[in-house]
Amino acid sequence: MQEKQVLLQTKMVLRRREVKKSYVMFSSTFFCIFFLFLSPANLTNGVNFEVLTLIEIKNSLVDPQGVLVNWDIASVDPCSWNLITCSSNNFVLSIGAANQSLSGTLASSIGNLTYLETVLLQNNYITGNIPPEIGKLMKLKTLDLSNNNFTGQIPSTLSHPTHFQYLRLNNNSLTGTIPTSVANMTQLILLDLSYNNLSGPVPRLLANTFNVMGNPEICSTGTEEDCNRSHPKPTSLTFSSSGPSDGGTINQKFAVQFGLSLACLFIIGFGFH
Ligand SMILES: *[C@@H]1O[C@H](CO)[C@@H](O)[C@H](O)[C@H]1NC(C)=O
Ligand SMILES: *[C@@H]1O[C@H](CO)[C@@H](O)[C@H](O)[C@H]1NC(C)=O
Ligand SMILES: *[C@@H]1O[C@H](CO)[C@@H](O)[C@H](O)[C@H]1NC(C)=O
Ligand SMILES: *[C@@H]1O[C@H](CO)[C@@H](O)[C@H](O)[C@H]1NC(C)=O
Ligand SMILES: *[C@@H]1O[C@H](CO)[C@@H](O)[C@H](O)[C@H]1NC(C)=O
Ligand SMILES: *[C@@H]1O[C@H](CO)[C@@H](O)[C@H](O)[C@H]1NC(C)=O
Ligand SMILES: *[C@@H]1O[C@H](CO)[C@@H](O)[C@H](O)[C@H]1NC(C)=O
């Protein structure tokens, strides 16, 4: 008789535990789904696509000094990487890799870094074509590919970014004519195409300051008219690592996300117990 009662009580306790367990499971699942929707937009299937894109760019470059060594595919985002600056919501704003002895080619996937404003790759040994996909970067303001070994034509798509201000392609081995679309860019503060192997006819260049001297087939000596129009020299382009990214916001956001993930994991773990 007593035994039966004890058994019944035990059963009831177990039952209550089960109800509690399923409640925990239900709420944790709900919580985690809710949290997933809070995740940043640059995550696809839990992977930051800007990390993948930059790894593609790294893989097509040759890096003898190892300056890209902390560009790691396992990173949550690329914002702590050498030579990268991010916005406060962790999108890549700039790549500043001038003077780094880089060779190899520039991957066309650079056109996927939608928020890029500044690309400084001057004074390296990069070969191959300038990827036309750079024209997809609608926020681009500054592109400096000067003093490399780029070949092929100037992509006409470079005229697409509406806020483009500084375009330096000088001291490469570019050939062909200057695309009219690029010549028509009135918003350019500087267009430097000097010391390449460009040919004519030269369209009327509408940039505020331009330079096409040092192209043997159009301006061999630079004394010809309209080879360079240099109004007060624009200040030289330097990469500032203290960019527009807001460290405080990043850290705060990271802490909140870290805490949420930890809570999520804990609740799931507890629920399965
Ligand atoms: C790169 O090197 C050139 C010449 O050596 C120098 O004038 C320039 O300031 C350097 N630029 C950067 C960003 O280090
Ligand atoms: C990135 O760019 C490459 C080449 O432009 C393209 O084939 C690829 O689909 C893009 N990837 C994503 C994730 O947008
Ligand atoms: C790259 O260009 C420099 C100067 O323009 C030249 O001295 C060098 O030989 C070139 N290197 C390659 C690999 O084309
Ligand atoms: C570009 O090449 C010319 C001619 O070789 C040279 O005088 C000039 O210093 C070079 N410009 C840069 C920025 O290296
Ligand atoms: C460039 O401007 C000229 C003169 O305004 C115009 O005739 C031409 O169609 C334009 N070309 C492009 C590609 O925008
Ligand atoms: C420039 O291009 C022409 C063909 O358009 C070629 O014959 C010449 O060798 C090139 N010069 C240089 C310095 O690359
Ligand atoms: C172009 O620049 C060079 C030196 O920077 C100068 O000697 C030359 O007179 C300029 N040409 C024109 C047409 O302004």
pLDDT score for 15: 63
* 137, amino acid identity: L
Peptide bond preceding 244 in cis form (omega within 30 of 0): no
DSSP letter string, 189-244: SEEE--SS---SPPPPP-SSEEE-TTBTTTBSSS-STTSEE--SPPPPP---SS-S
If one residue of 123, 142, 145, 166 were mutated to test the ligand 1 pocket, choosing by the most ligand atoms within 8 A of its CB, it would be: 123
pLDDT score recorded for residue 211: 94
pLDDT at 206: 93
Using most ligand atoms within 8 A of CB, pick from 49, 109, 113 the residue to mutate for ligand 2: 109
Q: Domain 45-234 in CATH: superfamily? A: Ribonuclease Inhibitor (3.80.10.10)
* Closest ligand to Cα 180: 5
Ligand nearest to the CA of 230: 7
Is the CA virtual torsion 124, 76, 90, 44 positive or negative?
Answer: positive
**β-strand 149-152 against 228-229: which pairing, if any?**
unpaired
| CA 244/CA 232 separation, integer angstroms | 27
Cβ proximity of 42 and 91 under 8 Å: yes
Provide the whole-model pTM. Answer: 0.75
Query: From the first residue on, what is the mean pLDDT of each consecutive set of 10 residues in the chain (273 residues)?
Result: 57 58 54 48 74 98 98 96 97 98 98 98 98 98 98 98 97 97 96 95 92 89 69 46 36 47 50 50
pLDDT of res. 151: 98
**Domain residue ranges in the chain:** 15-40+248-273, 45-234
Token pair recorded at residue 240: 């500032």
